[in-house]
Amino acid sequence: MSSHRDLVFDNGFARLPEAYYSRVCPTPVPDPYLVCYSAEALALLDLDASEMTQPELIEILAGNRLLPGMDAMAALYAGHQFGHYVPQLGDGRAILLGEVKNSRGEGWEIQLKGAGRTPYSRGGDGRAVLRSSIREFLCSEAMHALGIPTTRALAIVGSDRPVYREEEETAALVTRLAPSFVRFGSFEVFYYRNQVESIKHLADYVIARYYPELAGRSDPYPEFLRQVSLRTAGLMAQWQAVGFSHGVMNTDNMSILGLTLDYGPFGFLDAFEPGYICNHSDTSGRYAFDQQPNVAAWNLTKLAQALVPLMSVETASAAIGDYPQAFNQAYIDRMAARFGLPPGRDTAGLAMDALQLLARNRIDYTIFMRRLCDFDSTPGTLNPALRDLFLDRAGFDSWAARYAAALRQNGPGDAARGQAMRTLNPKYILRNHLAETAIRRAADERDYSEINRLHALLTRPFDEQPAYEAYAAEPPDWARKIEVSCSS
C-alpha cells in the first residue's frame, strides 16, 4: 500500500488525439468534506484507508487540486436518448483526472462526477447533488459485490455549495473508477460526423487495451463488435436475474466494456413487476424493467451502425446477430441456478412460471428467491415460509409440487442446493427506501453513518447478517412515495 503521492499515472486516453476530448480542469468547491469511501475501491489503486485522513487527498477528490501526472479532461460522445439521436453530449459534469497503473498492472481511470462545467455541459451546471451521489456510490459498490460488472465508486466528497434542482440541494462529487468510460456513444459521434478515421482509431485503442486477444487480427472489428454484444448480453442477463432496472438506457450510458454505467434513477424490484418503471421521467416506459434486454439489442444496432464504416452492413448485423441467443442462454442458465436447478428447457419453464405467480401475487422478488433457498422438497411439505407470501395458495401449491419433483429428480439434496443458492440469491439489495433513509440522514443531519452501514451490509449481500434483518424486509408504506427521475 502506498500514499496517493506515489500514484503512477499512465493516461492512455489522453494519448489519443484531441478529437476525443477537451482538456478542462475541475472547478474548485469551497470547504470540501469526506462523506464516505470504499476501502475496496481504494485498494484498486493500492491505497490504504488511512489515506482518507489526508486533507490533500480530499482536496483532490473535490477537484480543488491535481496531482503531478494527472491530465484532466472531459470526453466527447453523442448518443441516442429515448430513441432520438443527440449529436453532442460528452462529459458534461464528469472530469477524467487520469489513469493509474496499480501494482497488479491494471489500469484504472479516475473520474470525478460533479466536478464543474465542461465544454459539453450544454445548459447544465456541471454539478451533482449529494442525493444522487449517495445512490451512485452505494449502488456501484453493491453491484460489484453481487458479481455484476460495473464502474466502481471510490468516495463521495461534499461541499455546502448550493446546487439548484427542483429545490436547493448541496453539491457532491463521486470519484468513479473504471478501466475505461468509453460508451457506445463515443463511436456514434464520429459516425454522424462522417469521421471514419476517428471511428477506426478509437476502435483500435479500445481493442488494443480492452480486447487484446483480438489485437493481432487483420480485421478485428467484426469480432470486436460481437464481443461487445456478448458482454452486453451477459450484463443484461445479470440485471434481469437480480431485478435491477437501470432507468436511462440511452446509448451514451452503454459501456463498451459491458459495465453497468451511469447510475441515475435506477431501482431494484421490490414486488416482482415485469413492467416496473423506475425512472419517474420515463412516461412511455421505454426503459421498463422487462424492456431492458430488447433496449440493449436496439442500442447494439446503433453501435453496429456506427462501426459500419469499418465493415459491411451484413457483417455488422451478423456480428450482433448472436445477441438474442446469448442473452437467452445466459439468463436461463442464471435463473436455473438461482432456482437450484440444472439448466434446461423444463427448468426454465418452472422458473418462468414462478415469476408469473410472483407478478400476479405481487410478491417481493428478493425475499421469495432467498426463502426458496430453504425449500423443503420432501413430498407433502407445505413450505409455509414461502406459501404464506401468496394470496393464491393453490397456485403456489401446484407450482411447489412441480418444483419439489424437479428438485428430487435433479438436485444434490436440499441442504447442498440451498447452500449453493444462497451464493446466488442475495439477501440484501439496495432498495430505494434504504438509500432514501441514508440520504435523508446525510442531508438533514450530516450523519453519514447510515451510508456506511448500508455500504458494509451490501458488500456482503449473500451473507446472513442477523443484526440487519430489517434491511431485508419489504419496503415500508412511506417508500411508495419515493420518486426518482433524471434530475441529479
Footprint (CB under 6 A) of ligand AMP, residues 123-182:
124-127
Given 121, 195, 315, 485, the residue binding ligand AMP (CB under 6 A): 121
Secondary structure, 3-state, 291-319: HHHHHHHHHHHHHHHHHHHHCCHHHHHHH
Given 99, 136, 169, 262, the residue binding ligand AMP (CB under 6 A): 262
Q: Which residues bind Mg ion (CB under 5 A)?
A: 253, 262
Q: Which of 91, 252, 262, 364 is catalytic?
A: 252
* Residue 252 designated active-site: yes
Query: What is the greatest pairwise CA distance in the chain?
Result: 69
How many other CB atoms are found less than 10 A from the CB of residue 21?
A: 24
- Closer Cβ to ligand AMP, 101 or 161, answer by number: 161
Closest distance of CB 89 from ligand AMP, Å: 4
Contacts of 300 (CB under 8 A, 6+ apart): 184, 228, 229, 232, 320, 323
| Total residues found in the chain within this entry | 488
Given 170, 232, 253, 260, the residue binding ligand AMP (CB under 6 A): 253
Interaction of residue 248 with ligand AMP, rule CB under 6 A: yes
Site string for ligand AMP, 91-110 (x = CB under 6 A): xxx-----------------
- Closer Cβ to ligand AMP, 93 or 144, answer by number: 93
Closest distance of CB 212 from Mg ion, Å: 27
Cβ-proximal residue to Mg ion, closest one: 262
Cell of 180: 475505461
Residue 91 binds which one of Mg ion, ligand AMP, none, with CB within 5 to 8 A depending on kind?
A: ligand AMP
Closest distance of CB 253 from Mg ion, Å: 5
Given 264, 340, 411, 418, the residue binding ligand AMP (CB under 6 A): 264
Contacts of 411 (CB under 8 A, 6+ apart): 340, 341, 377, 417
- Tell me the residue ranges of DSSP E strands in 104-182: 107-113, 128-129, 152-164, 168-178
Residue 486 binds which one of ligand AMP, Mg ion, none, with CB within 5 to 8 A depending on kind?
A: ligand AMP
Sign of dihedral through CA atoms 337, 266, 73, 98? negative
- Closer Cβ to ligand AMP, 90 or 293, answer by number: 90
How many other CB atoms are found less than 10 A from the CB of residue 462?
A: 17
- Closer Cβ to ligand AMP, 259 or 472, answer by number: 259
Cα separation, 444 vs 439, in Å, equals 8
Cα separation, 169 vs 447, in Å, equals 16
Cα separation, 193 vs 2, in Å, equals 44
User: Which residues are catalytic, by number?
Assistant: 252
Site residues, ligand AMP (CB under 6 A): 89-93, 120-121, 124-127, 248, 253, 262, 264, 486
